[in-house]
Amino acid sequence: MNPIKTTLLTLSLLTVSIGAQAAELPQSAVLQYSGSYGIPATMTFIHSGNQYKIVSTIKVPLYNIRFESGGSINGTTLNPSYYKDVRGGKLYAEAKFSGGNITYGKAGDLKTEKSGPAMDLFTLAWQLAANDVRLPSGLKITNGKKLYTVGSMNKIGSESYKLNGGTTPVSKYRVRRGDDTVTYSFASDIDNIPAQISYTDDGKTYNLKLTSVKINGKVVKP
C-alpha cells in the first residue's frame, strides 16, 4: 500500500479509537459531593453489560433523599426504564419510561403521556458525559413529579475544582428546563464525569459539587 495512504489510514483508526475511548462509560463510579450547606451526597453509577443504574443519596437533616434510575445502554445512548425519588424511606415520586410514553407523578397520583425521548436529571448527566456534552434532540426531562420540555443548552464558563488533593478543570453548562434551568459541570480530564449538578425543586435548591472520585474501584487523583 502507498506509504501516505498507510499513514492516513493509521491516523484515521487512531482518531476513531480515541473518540470511542473518550465516550466510554465506566463499569462503576462512586462520586462524592458537597451539597448545599455542606450536606454530603453520593452518586453511584453502575454499568453492567447493556444495563445501568444510578443511585444518588443526599443526607439532609432528619432524613435521607434517594434518587434511583436505571435502564439500558445502546452504544452511547442511555435509555431509562424507571426513576424513583425516595424520601425518608418512602416513595415520594416516580417515572416509568416505555416506548415513547412516560408514566410519572407523586406516589399514588400517576399519569401517562406520550413524551418521545425522555430522561431524568441524573441519567441526562451521564448521557451528556458519554457524548461530549451533546444534548439529545427533542428531549424531555422529569423529576418524577413533572415533565419538562428541554430548550437550549449553553456553555457558561470553565473553572477548576479541588479534587482528591489536586485540582481538575471543569466546563459548565446551563440546560433550559421548562421555565427554569439546570446547571451541569463536567470534569473534562476525567472522561467528562458529572462534577456539579445544580437545580431547584419544590422551592429547594440542590447544588451538588464534586469532592472525590473513585472509578472502577480506584481513587482518581488529578
pLDDT at position 205 is: 83
What is the chain's pLDDT, residue by residue, as a tens digit (222 residues)?
Answer: 444 443 333 333 333 333 333 448 999 999 999 988 889 999 999 999 999 999 999 988 888 999 999 999 999 999 999 999 999 999 999 999 998 999 999 999 999 999 889 999 999 999 999 999 999 999 999 999 999 999 889 999 999 998 888 899 999 999 999 888 999 999 999 999 999 999 988 777 889 999 999 999 999 988
pTM of the model: 0.86
Instruction: Count Cβ atoms below 10 Å from residue 95 Cβ, excluding itself.
Output: 27
pLDDT at position 62 is: 81
Phi, psi of 99 (to 5 degrees): 55, 40
Per the CB < 8 A criterion, the answer to whether 193 and 213 are in contact is yes
Query: Which one-letter amino acid corresponds to residue 61?
Result: P
Task: Give the span between the Cα atoms of 124 and 199, in whole angstroms.
Answer: 13
Task: Give the span between the Cα atoms of 173 and 186, in whole angstroms.
Answer: 8
Tell me the Ramachandran region of residue 116: left when phi exceeds 0, alpha when psi lies from -120 to 50, beta otherwise.
Answer: left
> Facing residues of 82 across strands?
70, 96
pLDDT at position 18 is: 35
- What are the strands, taking DSSP E only, across 75-144? 77-87, 90-98, 101-106, 109-114, 118-120, 140-142
pLDDT at position 101 is: 95
Domain range annotation of the chain: 27-219
What does the radius of gyration of the chain's CA atoms come to, in whole angstroms? 18
